[in-house]
Amino acid sequence: MKSRVWRSFSLWYLIGVHLIAIFAGFVAPYDFARQERTRPFAGPTRVHFVDSSGKFHLRPFVYGIEKSEDLGSGYTEDRSIFYPIQFLVSGDEYAVGPFHCSLHLFGIEGPERFYLLGADGFGRDQFSRMLYGGRISLFAGLLAAALAGCLGLLIGGMAGYYGGALDDLTMRFAEVFIAVPWFYLLVAVRAVLPLHLDPSASFSLVVITVGFVAWARPAKLVRGVILSAKERSFVLASRGFGASTFHILQRHIAPAASGVLLTQITLLVPQFVLTEVALSFLGLGVAEPVPSWGNMLAAAQHYNVLVSYWWMLIPGLVPIPTFIAYHALSDNLHARLDC
C-alpha cells in the first residue's frame, strides 16, 4: 500500500517537474539572461518574517543588499530598505508559445533583485537559470530517449518480425553500437559537426545524436520481445484464423513490446539527461547565455567559485530527485509487466 502511494507520487512528481520546466518563464522571477553586474556571486537572499523592530509580518519580505567593505566579495543586508515578496508580479517579458507575457509567479518590485538560490558571476538569478536549464536538460533527455525508443521499435520490430538476413544484419550493427564506448562516439560525432551553433540548433543536435547513437539497446530488447511473442500460441492461433500481419502486430505484438520499451525509455531518460549535462559541461552542447544544467555547472569547476559559492553546485543537485522518480517509475512499469 505504501509503495503504491510512492509509485503514483513518483509519476506526479515527474509531471510536476516537467510542467515547471515548460512554464519556466512564469515560475522564474527573472529572465535567464538578465544580468546585474553590481551583484556578482550574491548569495541566496534571506527571506524574513520578522523585521528589525521585532514586528511579525504575514507576508515574507527581503532586505536590500549592499557590498560590505570588510570582505572582498561579501554582501550585507541594508535594513533600511524593505521589499515585500509579491505574487503574480510583472517583470521580464517571456514567450508562451506565440504570446508574450510578463507575469511572474513571485518576485519583488523595485530596483533590488531577489535571488532565491543566489547569483552567478554576472549577477544572473541562479534559480531562474536553473528552471530554464531544466527545460533544456530534462527535455533533451526525454526527447533523446523517445527518439532512441522509436528507432529501437522500428528497427528491432522489423528485425524481430521479418527475421532472416535482415535480423542478422541489424543485430550485427546493434552489436557494433553497443561495443563502442558510446560517450566517446558521441564526442566524435559532435567533433565532425560545426562547433558554434545557435541554442535551438545545438539542442536538436544533442537530441538527434544521442538518439541515433543509442538506438541499439532498445532495438535488441524489442526484437527479443517480438521473437518470443511471435511464437506464443495465441499469435499462432490468430494467424491460423487468417489475421493480417498488421492486425497481429497491432493487436498482439505491440502491447507486449510497448511495455518493455516504455520501461527501457524511462530508464534511458536520466542517462540521457546526464549526457546532455556532460556535453554542455564540456562546451559541446548548449552554449551560454542559454542555460543548461551542464553549462551552469561548468562555471562551478573553477577552484575559487567551487570553494566560495556553494549555490553554484545546485544544478548538479536538482536532477537527483527527478532521476530517483524516473527510476521508481521504471521499477513500477517493470513490476506491472511481470504480473
Partner 1 sequence: MIRYISRRFANSLFLLVVVSAIVFGLAQAAPGDFFSDATINQRISAETVAALRARYGMEKSLPVRYWGWLRSLGTGELGYSFAYDLPVGKILWPRMGHTLLLTVPALLLSWLVAVPLGILVATRRGSLVDRIFSVGTSAMLALPDLLIALLILLFALRTRMFPVGGMNSVVIPPGWWSGWKDTAWHMFLPVLAIAFGALPMILRHTRASMMEVLDSPYVRAARGLGLSRFVTLYRHALPAAANPLISLLGISVGGLLSVSLLVEVIVSWPGIGPLVLEAVLGRDLFLVMGAVMFFSVFLIAGGLLADILLYLLDPRIRMQS
Site residues (CB under 8 A) for partner 1? 172-173, 175-176, 179-185, 187-195, 270, 274, 277-278, 281-284, 294, 297, 300-301, 303, 306-307, 313, 316-317, 319-321, 323-324, 327-328
Return the number of the residue (213 or 257) whose C-beta is nearest partner 1: 213
Strands of 56-67's sheet in order across:
48-50, 56-67, 75-84
Return the number of the residue (324 or 337) whose C-beta is nearest partner 1: 324
Cα-Cα-Cα-Cα dihedral sign, residues 204, 210, 215, 217? negative
Return the number of the residue (52 or 73) whose C-beta is nearest partner 1: 73
Half-sphere exposure of residue 83: CA atoms within 13 angstroms, side-chain side? 23
Return the number of the residue (164 or 181) whose C-beta is nearest partner 1: 181
Taking the complex as a whole, the smallest distance from the CB of residue 157 to partner 1 amounts, in Å, to 22
Helices 199-213, 182-192: crossing angle, 10 deg rounding: 140
Taking the complex as a whole, the smallest distance from the CB of residue 301 to partner 1 amounts, in Å, to 6
Return the number of the residue (33 or 180) whose C-beta is nearest partner 1: 180
Nearest to 310 by CA among 113, 117, 122: 117
C-alpha triplet 71, 85, 291: angle, nearest 5°: 65
**Gap between the Cα atoms of 143 and 187, Å rounded:** 19
Secondary structure of residue 176 in the 3-state scheme: helix
Taking the complex as a whole, the smallest distance from the CB of residue 311 to partner 1 amounts, in Å, to 13
User: 337: part of which helix (H) or strand (E)?
Assistant: helix 319-338
Return the number of the residue (230 or 327) whose C-beta is nearest partner 1: 327
**Gap between the Cα atoms of 186 and 146, Å rounded:** 17
Taking the complex as a whole, the smallest distance from the CB of residue 149 to partner 1 amounts, in Å, to 20
Taking the complex as a whole, the smallest distance from the CB of residue 101 to partner 1 amounts, in Å, to 32
Taking the complex as a whole, the smallest distance from the CB of residue 243 to partner 1 amounts, in Å, to 35
Can you name the residues that pair with 65 across neighbouring β-strands?
77
**Grid cell at residue 12:** 506526479
Return the number of the residue (5 or 307) whose C-beta is nearest partner 1: 307
Half-sphere exposure of residue 75: CA atoms within 13 angstroms, side-chain side? 21
Give the gyration radius of the chain's Cα atoms. 25
Taking the complex as a whole, the smallest distance from the CB of residue 195 to partner 1 amounts, in Å, to 7
Return the number of the residue (50 or 313) whose C-beta is nearest partner 1: 313
**Gap between the Cα atoms of 304 and 308, Å rounded:** 6
Q: What is the DSSP letter of 97?
A: T
**Grid cell at residue 108:** 519583488
Query: Largest Cα–Cα distance of the chain, in whole Å?
Result: 87
Taking the complex as a whole, the smallest distance from the CB of residue 112 to partner 1 amounts, in Å, to 30
Return the number of the residue (82 or 177) whose C-beta is nearest partner 1: 177
**Gap between the Cα atoms of 151 and 7, Å rounded:** 28
Taking the complex as a whole, the smallest distance from the CB of residue 183 to partner 1 amounts, in Å, to 3
